[in-house]
């Protein structure tokens, strides 16, 4: 909780493409090295990005490098074969319609995401199934709350 103006947070957003967020300017970076010092971010947030990366482990390693306290990850995921088929189907469609890349091996179950996060040096302290983000898309999101391991 912020108690006064001196406790105000600063927010930075990064992407490999120029995008606009409603209230935060997006800084374009090379997709490999975030322009932040080691442990320069108290909290890092990554929302449905890793399954679009060719090397999610490398991206997680970079997020670990810049994070000093907590990492929040929201990812598309599956826990059953029908979920996996739905997730892959939607992303094949997005690649075809919007040229949005994704790595079909980048989708994982909750247990697999936890293992990948642990391997990257994060301790998963809680997971929360957020449900379907877009009513007509059968893609489920899960929030992973991580501390430094």
Reported confidence tier of residue 9, pLDDT bands at 50, 70, 90: confident
Q: Among candidates 10, 85, 51, which has minimal Cα distance to 59?
A: 51
Q: Tell me how far apart the alpha carbons of residues 99 and 37 are, in angstroms, rounded to a whole number.
A: 32
What is the per-residue pLDDT across 26-35, written as a single tens digit (0 to 9) for each?
899 988 899 9
Q: Among candidates 23, 68, 15, 71, which has minimal Cα distance to 44?
A: 71
Q: What percent of the chain has pLDDT over 70?
A: 86
Reported confidence tier of residue 1, pLDDT bands at 50, 70, 90: very low
Reported confidence tier of residue 10, pLDDT bands at 50, 70, 90: confident
First to last CA, the chain: 24
Beta bridge partners of residue 132, listed in sequence order? 140
Task: Reply yes or no on whether the pLDDT at 141 is more than 60.
Answer: yes
In this prediction, residue 16 carries a pLDDT of 83
φ, ψ at 48 (rounded to 5°): 45, 50
- The CATH fold assigned to 5-148 is Rossmann fold (3.40.50)
Reported confidence tier of residue 79, pLDDT bands at 50, 70, 90: low
Task: Reply yes or no on whether the pLDDT at 2 is more than 60.
Answer: no
Collapsing DSSP to helix, strand or coil, 96 comes out as helix
What is the per-residue pLDDT across 85-115, written as a single tens digit (0 to 9) for each?
877 787 788 778 877 777 766 677 888 889 9
Q: Tell me how far apart the alpha carbons of residues 130 and 141 are, in angstroms, rounded to a whole number.
A: 5
Domain ranges of the chain: 5-148
What is the per-residue pLDDT across 22-61, written as a single tens digit (0 to 9) for each?
778 889 998 889 999 999 999 999 988 888 888 889 999 9
CB 62 within 8 A of CB 33: yes
In this prediction, residue 109 carries a pLDDT of 81
Task: Find the helix or strand (DSSP H, E) in which 140 lies.
Answer: strand 140-148
């Amino acid at each position: 909780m912020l108690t006064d103006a001196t406790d105000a947070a600063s927010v930075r957003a990064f992407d490999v493409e120029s995008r606009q967020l409603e209230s935060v300017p997006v800084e374009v970076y090379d997709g490999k090295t975030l322009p932040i010092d080691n442990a320069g971010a108290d909290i890092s947030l990554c929302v449905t990005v890793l399954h679009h990366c060719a090397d999610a482990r490398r991206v997680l390693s970079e997020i670990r490098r810049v994070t000093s306290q907590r990492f929040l990850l929201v990812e598309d995921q599956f826990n059953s074969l029908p979920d996996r088929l739905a997730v892959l189907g939607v992303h094949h469609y997005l690649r075809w319609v919007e040229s949005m890349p994704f790595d079909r091996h980048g989708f994982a179950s909750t247990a697999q995401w936890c293992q990948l996060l642990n391997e990257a040096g994060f301790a998963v302290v809680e997971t929360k199934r957020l449900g379907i983000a877009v009513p007509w898309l059968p893609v489920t999101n899960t929030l992973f709350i991580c501390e430094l391991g």
